[in-house]
Amino acid sequence: MTSRRMNLLDRPWHGHFHAAVASTIAAPTLEQLRDSFVEFITAYPDHAIAGRVSPDQRRWVQVAPAERRAHAERVFQAGPESNEAEDWLNHAISNVDQELPLSVYVGAEAISISLTHMTTDGASCSLVISALARNDFAAISSLEPHADLSMLIKAAFRSVREYGSRWWATFRGKDNLAISAGTAAELVDPAGWVNSAPQPTAVMHRLEPAAMARANAWRKATGQEISLTSLLTSAVWRALAAESIPVAPGGFTGLFDLRRFLPKQQQVLPGNLAKAIHVATDMRDPAGLHAAVQATVATGRALPAAIIGAVSSLLPRRASAPTAKALELTFSSMPALPGRDSLPWTDPDNARYGGLGFPTSATGISAFSVRIGQATEMYASFDARTVSPAAVKRAFARLDDIESLMS
């Protein structure tokens, strides 16, 4: 069976997926999408999304010609009997197949997908669901070729003069911040999850334009340098803590863009060009959080960390013993999602569009925000064995009144 190796830049993302949903759209029919996918596989048999993932999660495996129709029927399936976008998102999450790079669920006015993170980043996932909603597989073909590890290695050599001393200080631990974040969060006991199957779950919440206007007014009234992303990161932490969800108070994990290190002609390439970095900060303080994020950007440490992570993927994977931990918050945001404007909307005022990465570990919770017009969609991904979905919903509802939350 024909296969090819995965890019080393993509392999560290094994076991991680994107999920996305678009609702109130005029979706293609299931048969139309299956027919188009067979044509796509025939035209681009070596494309990552066209085939399967090898059992060791390290190779893209082509689909034999005689199996292409059956493969299309496995990838494209009918969606849930629901009008709620959150149900469609959770349907994609709960039915993920580790062997399939892409799984698609189709209805008359909605579509949801899961896409392995090893194919590309979240922005490109948005392009994929937009292309599927238009039955435009030519747009998906453009996701390859994409960025690879060699580009980052060359960028690191070019960046040594500017960042070398800060990289050295970072890896020696000389610039680590000492965080005094008050009382430590409660630890989550492994006994609550090790003997049961993972339960990846998502929650959605829409911050209406009026709520966003109040949040921005509060941010500007502080007189401090606080980005909207930093405010939302701190507010999400406060909201979760207010619902007695034991989130760690001394920092969070953010995604840091690697494109700024690349030449302009490479910055437009699709691919996994972001690195997850832990930022030590007092999560209650949005101004301090903003300063800590800016300091992390200034070190440029995301670049060598991404290279080390990619090279480490060559080593044997070892499972670590579960230990009691507070929940680690991961937060990321985007000002807009590419492909949104070209979707075939039927009711733009009530449109729901966006997604998130999953799964998080049993001791993690991941939140994502994206602007949709003047509103903002909030998403959270977590393991329902350790976090109550009802509690996360209540926490997100608190974001409607950020002024009170931050007081």
pLDDT of residue 182: 53
| pLDDT grade for 236, boundaries at 50, 70 and 90 | very high
> pTM of the full predicted structure?
0.92
CB of 233 closer than 8 Å to CB of 284: no
| Whether residue 183 has pLDDT greater than 60 | no
From 122, 375, 379, select the one nearest 255 (Cα to Cα).
122
pLDDT of residue 177: 53
pLDDT of residue 341: 87
What tens digit of pLDDT does each residue of 246-286 get?
999 999 999 999 999 999 999 888 889 999 999 999 999 99
Which amino acid is present at 24?
Answer: T
Tell me which of 339 and 63 has the higher pLDDT.
Answer: 63
Rounded to whole angstroms, the Cα distance separating 188 from 193 reads 9
Angle at 135 between CA 131 and CA 138, to 5 degrees: 65
DSSP per-residue letters across 87-154: HHHHHHHHT--TT-SEEEEE-SSEEEEEEETTT--HHHHHHHHHHHHTT-HHHHHTT-S---HHHHHH
Cα distances (angstroms) measured from residue 354 to each of 8, 28, 129, 248, 325? 27, 19, 10, 26, 30
pLDDT of residue 392: 98
DSSP per-residue letters across 160-226: HHHHHHHHHHHHTTTTPPP---SSPPPPBPGGGTTTS---EEEEEEEE-HHHHHHHHHHHHHT-S--
What tens digit of pLDDT does each residue of 108-150 get?
999 999 999 999 888 889 999 999 999 999 999 988 867 899 9
pLDDT of residue 215: 94
CB of 236 closer than 8 Å to CB of 331: yes
